[in-house]
């Protein structure tokens, strides 16, 4: 019982100082450790390509570990109430304020006495927050590096159509056209190439390309050099390729030189040869970037 200024008596509440809870402390620490390990596993899962079911389960373990640790800490390792005090007036006397501060200080000391648990809780929350950045960073994708300047085409690549059937010297008649790919990249957006037959004899489209058009076969990238649209129309009478998006026209006999429309440069030509079995193959890959013209300026 304490005598206070102004009359009256006040008995400060007895605050239980929780000690000897080593087992509970270990349980709380274990919950935070499990959360940290689950966060690391979630990060690894993202890096390896992701799997929705595993990611959902790990997210559950992360939040469960943090939640269980915080609830157990609050329930078993800090002073428990409830504390009640009869009051006749709303005004707090000096002794009451001092008792309140003393009680608050004791509670703070209970938390401060367990710095290891504070660190573990901080680690659990911090690692989980860091892992949350992985979906954002992963969505940016890998850096393109030199991929924008090359294609999968390479020396000896066998030309196949969209069904994977190999192209031979007898596949097309004069005036015919087909979309082709290397046999190991059927359907590849960057690999798609227009193969046409403009004549029955070899064609030289430019100096230095004397062997690129065997038996009248010519191959050009299907990606328009204006905006990357597919150049999918061949006008046999004028021997021109047409891009239907913005009406760019390319003369196939002069190396797909643009003769009309907004395309800024010719379609890259793929050098061809016929092997001993009559299959058409690539002498090499494209010698310049395919697609929109700004890549050429970037190079």
Per-residue pLDDT band for 116 (boundaries 50, 70, 90) equals confident
Q: What is the pLDDT of residue 198?
A: 93
What is the mean pLDDT of the segment spanning 95-119? 70
Q: What is the pLDDT of residue 85?
A: 67
Per-residue pLDDT band for 5 (boundaries 50, 70, 90) equals very low
What is the mean pLDDT of the segment spanning 54-72? 90
The residue with greater pLDDT, 150 or 84, is 150
Q: Which of 15-29, 97-111, 183-197 has the highest mean pLDDT?
A: 183-197
What is the mean pLDDT of the segment spanning 84-106? 72
DSSP 29-61: HHHHHHHHHHHHHHHHHHHTT--HHHHHHHHHH
pLDDT > 90: percent of the chain: 49
Ordered domains of the chain (ranges, CATH)? 2-139 (no CATH), 150-299 (2.102.10.10)
pLDDT > 70: percent of the chain: 79
Per-residue pLDDT band for 141 (boundaries 50, 70, 90) equals low
What is the mean pLDDT of the segment spanning 167-184? 95
Per-residue pLDDT band for 297 (boundaries 50, 70, 90) equals low
Contacts of 240 (CB under 8 A, 6+ apart): 234, 249, 250, 251, 252, 259
Handedness of CA 21, 27, 29, 31 (dihedral sign): negative
What is the mean pLDDT of the segment spanning 279-291? 93
Q: What is the pLDDT of residue 136?
A: 66
- What pLDDT, in 10s, does the model give residues 74-91? 888 877 767 676 666 666
Flag whether pLDDT at 17 surpasses 60: no
DSSP 247-273: TEEEEGGGTSEEEESS--SPPPBPPEE
Contacts of 12 (CB under 8 A, 6+ apart): 2, 95, 99, 102, 103
Residue with tokens 């999968």: 152
Flag whether pLDDT at 246 surpasses 70: yes
What is the mean pLDDT of the segment spanning 120-145? 74
């Amino acid at each position: 019982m304490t005598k206070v200024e102004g009359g009256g008596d006040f008995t400060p509440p007895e605050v239980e100082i929780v000690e000897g809870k080593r087992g509970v402390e270990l349980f709380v620490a274990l919950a935070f450790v499990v959360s940290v390990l689950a966060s690391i596993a979630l990060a690894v899962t993202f890096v390896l390509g992701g799997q929705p079911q595993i990611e959902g389960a790990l997210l559950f373990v992360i939040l469960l570990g943090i939640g269980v640790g915080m609830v157990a800490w609050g329930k078993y390792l800090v002073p428990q109430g409830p504390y009640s005090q009869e009051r006749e007036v709303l005004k707090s006397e000096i002794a009451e304020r001092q008792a309140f501060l003393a009680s608050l200080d004791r509670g703070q000391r209970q938390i401060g006495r367990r710095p290891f648990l504070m660190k573990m809780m901080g680690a659990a929350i911090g690692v989980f927050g860091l892992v949350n950045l992985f979906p954002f960073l992963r969505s940016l994708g890998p850096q393109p590096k030199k991929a924008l300047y090359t294609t999968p085409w390479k020396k000896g690549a066998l030309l196949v159509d969209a069904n994977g059937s190999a192209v031979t010297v007898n596949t097309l008649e004069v005036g015919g056209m087909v979309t082709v790919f290397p046999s190991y990249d059927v359907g590849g957006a960057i690999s798609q190439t227009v193969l046409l037959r403009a004549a029955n004899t070899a064609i030289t489209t430019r100096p230095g390309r004397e062997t690129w058009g065997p038996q009248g076969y010519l191959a050009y990238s299907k990606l328009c050099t204006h905006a990357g649209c597919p150049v999918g129309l061949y006008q046999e009478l004028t021997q021109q390729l047409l891009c239907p998006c913005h009406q760019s026209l390319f003369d196939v006999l002069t190396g797909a030189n643009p003769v009309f429309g907004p395309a800024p440069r010719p379609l890259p030509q793929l050098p061809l040869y016929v092997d001993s079995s009559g299959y058409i193959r690539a002498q090499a890959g494209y010698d310049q970037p395919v697609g929109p013209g700004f890549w050429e300026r970037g190079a």
